[in-house]
Structure 1
């Protein structure tokens, strides 16, 4: 049964402040409104899951919600052949990107809700400064929610603001502490940079702009709210109201994803030097110091190869790299040195396509969650000791992974 939640946009161009436009309900074959309980009538189970968190795993045709401690499957849902999972930042929900848009998964009850934000090409989801920001690549529309209002969502989404980019592109947006919106510039064929906008009632005013970031992709916020975007020839920084370009040491030096800690000024970026290289494995990282304004590239040991799914920041502001040798290699961003190694899974090969299932790592506090698709298994690892604390054998091949505790 379809039941639309209508949002009427007040301003057609440049977005302005708006109510949510075009929200609809998407029928779900497997939604379950019954709270998860350890015994009949146990109403404390949902509260416990909010405290301990949940893990969401996508696989071909579905999504599983796992208990974060035992990694036992709590509930499974039918979905599409390939879906992406994005932590909503509220400790409860995951945005599932489908062909129809951003669909809300409640990991606490749990249920794959009928609520979605319509999008012709659902893209990045960013959590920062109490806001959860969605970007639709197909329309260039940015949708901004208050994160704490998402947590309380029951049956429908809270009101949102929107911004309409001049042209649709594969982009990303983030809202800062002072309310400024940073969003990418581009069109369907290319991307060039980013713009900072200030909201004034029903319109947005440009306060800064840079077109020095070809192929701009991804974002990350380091200490002192220093925001980094990746470029095909380095990186772009927005800090204290201004943009600054960092140029890579290589003619083609693409940083596509920024791995950050909001207590560290140093950004770790994935790094690629050959635009024609086959496969998705990388063997170097970019280290960007937003305080010292430096951009350095560190060549990793030959045994340490990874993809965009295999880097996370964790305890001590260190970087944890899940390598094809099956180990988590611990990198100190201050000097680029590998300071520890934790064997976790069997050795693996890089994917032929980025959507193909291959090992991934996400971190919550001291615990890393690692997928091992070749063994249909998910592991939890204590990063303070390197010990595997739990493993769960699934009856599906895990692909994407998201956790619902420890968000910004």
Structure 2
């Protein structure tokens, strides 16, 4: 009898030990980021590291509207609000002049641009991840605004590519390129490249081999919009020029390594530059008089999405342009309504806000409209574009889309997969720009 009781107790102890080994835990770890930033040691005590590990069978549940976690940076004419989507509340409010927001390559810092006053500051969003082989550690801290300013004559276009950021100053035609690793809030970054061009509304794109693409307008007859692109080597010398892109406006990079492409919108065509081949492809637009003036692409996708418009034929203004990078072809999609310029995408889908107030989801490989979700009231016509003009803005985090509505001064959260939309914040000033950065989520693998 004693031997039987001992056996039972031993069996029960084994079950308890096995259960304990399968229990996930969450702990804190000292933050190991750049020690040059002010207050890093104090802040790192609050850094949150997610150690949750799940077996493959535990991945059945996916994020819905109320479960998505993101840190949102919303600009308005007098400053910035920073929100946590978890609690739908403002955690920080900064007073400063803002015309636009641009995300850095590290997906952590944000360029806060005051174009008219020629001042750029750097905002540390306070959320980032560090890869550790088969898993990542996620950190959350308080946001910090840089103690310095980057000065320029009307800094306008900020382009991230190949771990660098190129800033184009319209007023001077100057280009400055910064390494992602140099971006901290305490120490001003030194540019790794500086290129002088003729003043115009231009753009520059860093390439992975150290070269840079810079928009081109003739020195003898400068135009407000460029007419092509120039390729500069790592020493800043102009190697090649492609001038057949009238009214150049809009840029995007995309495709995997073997099909990496940089695209530029033009009147009558889209210009594709292929870095590996050092060559171009000219994609003629399907309709006479049409123009592409904005483009969106990501490195993980072999598609790009862009606007499509015409001064001569207003019926074309409800169309979008879809570029297939592998085939080097272009097609158009009729949305059935005009739309706002802020378009976002992931590897498989594009998300577009129609002026009828609905969010459209487009499958990139087929060009089909997969869904339409009502979000805001129909949008009234406004004058101007960008640079602080209160137009709706979109941001995407893991299939959840955030939409600002300047007309009602609200921020909306949309789950298009389930047709759900809700207002999560009301402001006292019209929002003008939006960036969303994903926070650590134990259900996100």
Give your verdict on TM over 0.5. yes
Q: Which structure 2 segments of 5+ residues have no match?
A: 1-37, 51-67, 127-141, 440-445
Structure 1 residue 276, shift from structure 2 partner: 9.3
TM-score by length of 1: 0.79
1:123 equivalent to 2:140? Answer no
CA gap of 1:236–1:42, structure 2 versus 1, over 3 A, is: closer
Cα contact 1:92–1:405 (8 A) shared by 2: no
Residue 248 in 1 paired to residue 266 in 2?
no
Give the whole-Å Cα distance in 2 for the aligned partners of 1:68 and 1:140. Answer: 39
From 273, 277, 284, the equivalent of 2:310 is: 273
Report the CA distance between 1:339 and its aligned residue: 1.3
Deviation track 1:150-188 (CA, whole Å, cap 9, x = no partner) reads 1xx142223222332331211111112222211111235
- TM-score, structure 2 as length reference: 0.73
Once the two structures are superposed, what CA deviation does each residue of 1:92-113 show, in whole Å capped at 9, x if it has no partner?
A: 3211111223222232232333
**Counterpart-to-counterpart distance in 2, 1:252 and 1:102:** 37
1:66 maps to 2:98: no
User: Aligned with 1:148: secondary structure?
Assistant: helix
- The Cα RMSD (Å) is 2.8
Give 1 or 2: higher helix fraction: 2
Match of 1:54 in 2: 71
Cα distance in 2 between the residues matched to 1:42 and 1:112: 14
Shift of 1:117: 1.4
Gaps of 5+ in 1: 1-32, 36-40
Whether 1:166 aligns to 2:166 is: no
**Residue of structure 2 equivalent to 1:374:** 407
Task: Compute the displacement of 1:318 (Å).
Answer: 1.0
User: Using a 3 Å threshold, how does the CA distance of structure 1 residues 53 and 149 change in structure 2: closer, same or farther?
Assistant: farther
- Report 1:46-125 matches (<5 A): 47=48, 53-80=70-97, 83-98=99-114, 99-108=117-126, 109-125=142-158
Asked whether the 8 Å contact 2:193–2:236 carries over to 1, the reply is no
The corresponding residue for 2:177 is 144
Task: Give secondary structure in 2 for the equivalent of 1:115.
Answer: coil
For residue 47 of structure 1, report the CA deviation from its aligned partner. Answer: 4.9
Whether 1:231 and 2:242 are equivalent positions in the alignment is: no
Q: Determine the C-alpha separation between the residues in 1 that align with 2:70 and 2:178.
A: 21
| Structure 1 runs, 4 residues or longer, greater than 6 Å off | 275-278
Indicate whether 1:354 and 2:385 are aligned.
Answer: yes
Is 1:182 aligned to residue 198 of structure 2?
A: no
Structure 1, residues 204-257: CA drift from partner, whole Å, max 9, x if none?
Answer: 344432101011112111213211011022211001211221121333221111
| Residue in 2 that maps onto 1:8 | none
Residue of structure 1 equivalent to 2:7? none
Matched residue pairs, number?
Answer: 356
Rg larger in 1 or in 2? 2
Q: Which residue does the alignment assign to 2:236?
A: 204
The residue aligned with 1:213 is 245
**How far has the Cα of 1:277 moved from its partner?**
6.5
Verify the 8 A CA contact 1:173 1:181 in the aligned structure 2.
Answer: yes
Note if 1:157 corresponds to 2:174.
no
